[in-house]
Amino acid sequence: MKKLLAVLACAVFLAGCSPAPKRYNAVYTDVFDTVTEFTAYCSSQEEFDGMSERVHGELLRLHEIFDIYNEYPGIVNACSLNGAGGAETEVPDDLIELINMGIDWHKKTGGQLNIALGSVLSLWHECRENGTLPDENELLKRAGHCDIEKIAVTENSVTLTDPGMSLDFGAIAKGYAVGRAAEILKENGLEDFAISCGGNVVTSGKKPYGKWEIGIENPDGGLITTVSVSDEAVVTSGDYQRFVMIDGKRYHHIIDPKTLYPAEKWRSVTVICPDSALADALSTSLFCLDLEDGMKLLEDCKAEAMWVSQDGEVTKTPGFEDHEK
């Protein structure tokens, strides 16, 4: 008995002495064409390295599935589907889920968020790379291949019944992927972490001395504000992220399906809400909607937002202000 007590006392003593979690950091540059940063509080470098491997592995897996530019051995991905010439294609569950989400958001936004806009978006992509403007006739021709009704989805397959159509997941893929990676970390017992992938940040738990503090960029440079969050995602869509200047005018990467030109309502929109995929879909949607329609959409989503207008005027929901220091 004495021996058992001694062992127990020793165990309690050892537990009491376990080192306080330390902050660790890793950066990946090979997923979603952007820089991803993973920060976590762990008890050792080994524990962090194991978690980092999981995050990176999940982001790489989803990057390959959602990639519209490249195919990869052993998987059927978004690029394969776009190139299927209208044939029914069996695709991974994550792609089915993302496509269903895209169809849902098309309805929610009256067509302003449209994952079937791929043919128009790829023309703009080429033009940004070449520093030219798209040919009007070509734009109109491609706009004829963006009807979301032409996506037929079953439990495990997708058919693009217009073979001239292509899907683009840029508006929603990163938020979905970062949310999935966060779930895996939680399943593996990690509590205090943040993942930042391009403009998409997801946070869990708290730093030992407070919440996570996320700086939000001013479209003209520097920070416009800082928000404190815990167990929430913070996502920004902005005209300063991917753009080309032609004759002094900025042509950026978020296209208004009505005009087929870059959306001009806002310079940036930031969304805060618990669900990372939702935050990503919302930020791009709000960027393409006016304030009134955006507010209506927000009411259904339990999310907060900040809009920066063309002349730098800032509008925030009251709940957004609550997150600012």
Nearer residue to Mg ion within complex by CB, 232 or 280: 280
The CA distance from 177 to 295, in Å, is 26
Scan residues 270-289 and list those touching ligand AMP (CB under 6 A).
280, 283-284, 287-288
Instruction: Name residue, tokens 């979690």.
Output: 21
Answer for the pair 39, 24: CB distance below 8 angstroms, yes or no: yes
**Binding partner of residue 308 among ligand AMP, Mg ion, none, CB under 5 to 8 Å per kind?**
none
The residue from 59, 171, 233, 263 that contacts Mg ion (CB under 5 A) is: 171
Scan residues 229-268 and list those touching ligand AMP (CB under 6 A).
237, 253-255, 257
Least Cα distance to 193 among 55, 58, 38 occurs for: 38
Q: By CB under 6 A, how many residues form the interface with ligand AMP?
A: 20
The CA distance from 111 to 129, in Å, is 27
Q: How far is the CB of 102 from Mg ion (least distance, A)?
A: 11
Q: How far is the CB of 116 from ligand AMP (least distance, A)?
A: 8
Answer for the pair 307, 297: CB distance below 8 angstroms, yes or no: no
Q: Could you say whether residue 280 binds Mg ion (CB under 5 A)?
A: yes
Q: Could you say whether residue 275 binds Mg ion (CB under 5 A)?
A: no
The CA distance from 235 to 287, in Å, is 12
Q: How far is the CB of 201 from Mg ion (least distance, A)?
A: 12
Q: How far is the CB of 76 from ligand AMP (least distance, A)?
A: 21
Q: How far is the CB of 264 from ligand AMP (least distance, A)?
A: 13
Nearer residue to ligand AMP within complex by CB, 47 or 280: 280
Nearer residue to ligand AMP within complex by CB, 51 or 281: 281
Least Cα distance to 311 among 267, 245, 262 occurs for: 267
Q: Are strands 193-197 and 34-42 parallel, antiparallel or unpaired?
A: antiparallel
DSSP H helical segments within 67-197, as ranges?
A: 78-82, 93-108, 118-130, 136-143, 173-187
Q: Going by C-beta distance under 8 Å and a sequence separation of 6 or more, which residues neighbour residue 16?
A: none
For binding to ligand AMP (CB under 6 A), which residues are involved? 112-115, 117, 121, 168, 170-171, 199, 237, 253-255, 257, 280, 283-284, 287-288
Q: List interacting residues with Mg ion (CB under 5 A).
A: 171, 280, 283-284
